[in-house]
Amino acid sequence: MKCYKKHIKVLIIINILILFILLFTSGCVSEYTTPGVPGIDPNPAANPENNKVSSVKVTPLSSSIKVNQSLQLVVRGYNSDDEWVILDKSKVILWKWTVMGQCYDCVKDDVKLTPKSGLLSTTFTSGVTGTFYTVVYYQENAGDEYITDYVQIIVTK
């Protein structure tokens, strides 16, 4: 009987330790991490001295997905010295997609890209297979040319 009580106490202590480990290690998200995009920060913690955006880069977590899966994309900004700079989400004018080798009108109802503007991230979902390109249009100031980048996404069965 003594042996069983000792084992039960040890099991309870181990379970409590595991519970604390799970509680304190889950849900830890940096303040700069885009919700739903673990590991991809859209903006650095601070701007470099040269903070004029000269290029943007679209970063996906993966370059391929399966039909009806979603993929989140994040845009980052860089200055002329190739340093990471803070982007203003309101200057993301448009997220857009196109398809290669297929009729756009034939697949447009099966592809979703949300949101289409105003955020540093977007979610791409396709109900059909194919090779898709997603592009972001960023405009620093009204009247400036768009700063763009695109990424290829392969959708398989």
Cβ(151)–Cβ(64) under 8 Å? no
Q: Residue 78's pLDDT is what?
A: 97
For residue 131, tell me if it sits in a domain. yes
Cβ(105)–Cβ(70) under 8 Å? no
Structure tokens at 144: 């400036």
Which run of H or E residues covers position 24?
helix 2-25
Q: Residue 23's pLDDT is what?
A: 45
For residue 49, tell me if it sits in a domain. no
Q: Residue 15's pLDDT is what?
A: 57
The amino acid sitting at 60 is P
CATH number at residue 125: 2.60.40.1080
For residue 15, tell me if it sits in a domain. no
CA neighbours closer than 13 Å in the CB half-sphere of residue 137: 12
For residue 26, tell me if it sits in a domain. no
For residue 31, tell me if it sits in a domain. no
Q: What total of structural domains would you count in the chain?
A: 1
Q: Look-up: residue for tokens 């903006």?
A: 43
Report the predicted TM-score, pTM, of the whole model to 2 decimal places.
0.73
What are the average pLDDT values for consecutive 10-residue runs of the chain, which has 157 residues?
63 60 44 47 89 95 95 96 96 96 94 96 96 97 94 96
For residue 116, tell me if it sits in a domain. yes
Distance between CA atoms of 28 and 24, rounded to whole angstroms? 8
For residue 80, tell me if it sits in a domain. yes
Q: Residue 4's pLDDT is what?
A: 61
Structural domain range at position 98? 55-156
For residue 127, tell me if it sits in a domain. yes
